[in-house]
Amino acid sequence: MSQVPLFRRVILIVLDSVGCGDAPDAAAYGDEGSNTLANTARAVGGLRLPHLGCLGLGHVTSIAGVPPDPAPQACFGRLTEISAGKDTTTGHWELAGLPLLQPFPTYPHGFPPDLIAEFERRIGRCVLGNYPASGTAIIEELGAQHMRTGCPIVYTSADSVFQIAAHEEIIPVEELYRMCQIARALLRDEHAVARVIARPFVGQPGSFRRTERRKDFSLPPPADTILDVLKAAGKSVIGVGKIEDIFAQRGLTDSVHTTNNMDSVDAILSLLPQSDEGLIFANLVDFDMLYGHRNDPYGYARALEQFDARLPEIQGRLRDGDVLMLTADHGNDPTTPSTDHSRERVPVLVTGPRVRRGVALGTRSSFADVAATVAELSGVKWEGAGQSFASSLIA
């Protein structure tokens, strides 16, 4: 049975890949020593994040330029991932209360020849690539050949992804999306990868550029998440950015497609005065996509500082019954040799007009604590994973 909501609405913003190190099993993933926030700050000579610092970010890990605030204006802590994996889908599903205990399949040596042959038969073209690679690197390597032949570029990474890159003038974006849908239908059972990703690009050899018309085709969650529970209870559940892709449109009452971090912030700001009680769930992808995967700590630092500069706009539009929760889905330390995600704990900062200040939430045992907390704050029954920290937030 539903209970009386403690708060009217939760705004959950995932800062994609903004990890804070110290995952207890990092070594098992080859990520020992990764700390996206701390190592980025060290690489650039310190971060300027006054607003995140004021909320308590400096208490979750040691960050050059962001010392622990003596009187933090939010509740703060860290989340530990229990799912088997360190990718976007896995992290978001666990945040939504659905830990993945069996990992998605990965392909460190490329996809099996028989699977690729069947994909080629279904799309009527041969493919190039079929090996793990950085997206920007493989486009530079194979882009000219792709333009000559019309063959799409297929590649993967350390994550469970089947990525298809194509020049927009050679394979129109809608045709690229159709190829992704074909791949999604093919990749089932033992080959059920987490995401099929369309990677359109433009330009000429030596100056290729990926466009913002990327699209993810995800597996649907195998069980209900907090999104489904809130929607079934009649609450508004609005996805911003790639949330609709990550959850395969499941559990959403509406969604807003965005192209970058600032576009997502604008969308959040536009929703705050108008949306009903429930959940606004947003993903800010630039940290990961543009800077983590490209080993660019200076770009990563700029993106963090740009978000920090706009945080007061979001806080200024919160209503009396709103809770703002900031967290992440994994790490992607841009200072390591790897261009892949890193297994890290992630920060959690919680604020709002009626939320207590300066409460240390500690190191939580699962990302799913977010789902359990959102459920209790929203007054809905939750039988999934996680331990709620809602009582710590109540002033």
Nearby residues of 323 by Cβ (< 8 Å), 6 or more positions away: 7, 9, 10, 11, 350, 351, 352, 355, 377, 393
**What's the confidence (pLDDT) of residue 212?**
87
**What's the confidence (pLDDT) of residue 274?**
87
**What's the confidence (pLDDT) of residue 5?**
81
Nearby residues of 116 by Cβ (< 8 Å), 6 or more positions away: 110, 127, 130, 154
CATH topology of domain 9-103+220-393: Alkaline Phosphatase, subunit A (3.40.720)
**What's the confidence (pLDDT) of residue 77?**
98
With H, G, I as helix, E, B as strand and everything else as coil, classify residue 197.
strand
Alpha carbons 212 and 160: distance in angstroms, whole number: 21
What is residue 104's DSSP assignment?
Answer: P
Class of domain 113-218 as given by CATH: alpha beta
Span(s) in the chain for CATH 3.30.70.1250: 113-218
Q: Model confidence over 123-151: pLDDT tens digits?
A: 999 999 999 998 999 999 999 999 999 99
**What's the confidence (pLDDT) of residue 2?**
55
The dihedrals phi and psi of 252, each to the nearest 5 degrees, come to -105, 140
**What's the confidence (pLDDT) of residue 1?**
44
- CB burial of residue 222 (10 Å; 0-12, 13-18, 19+): exposed
Span(s) in the chain for CATH 3.40.720.10: 9-103+220-393
Report residues of the chain scoring pLDDT below 70.
1-2
Q: Six-digit token pair at 13?
A: 């913003």
Strands 209-210 and 195-202: antiparallel
DSSP β-bridge partners for residue 238: 254, 280
Q: Model confidence over 144-194: pLDDT tens digits?
A: 999 999 999 999 998 899 999 999 999 999 999 999 999 999 999 999 999
8 A C-beta contact, residue 268 and residue 13:
yes
Strands 278-284 and 346-351: unpaired
| Helix or strand holding residue 10 (H, E) | strand 9-15
Buried b (16+ CB within 10 A) or exposed e, 319-349: eebbbbbbbbbbbbbbbbebbbbbbbbbbbb
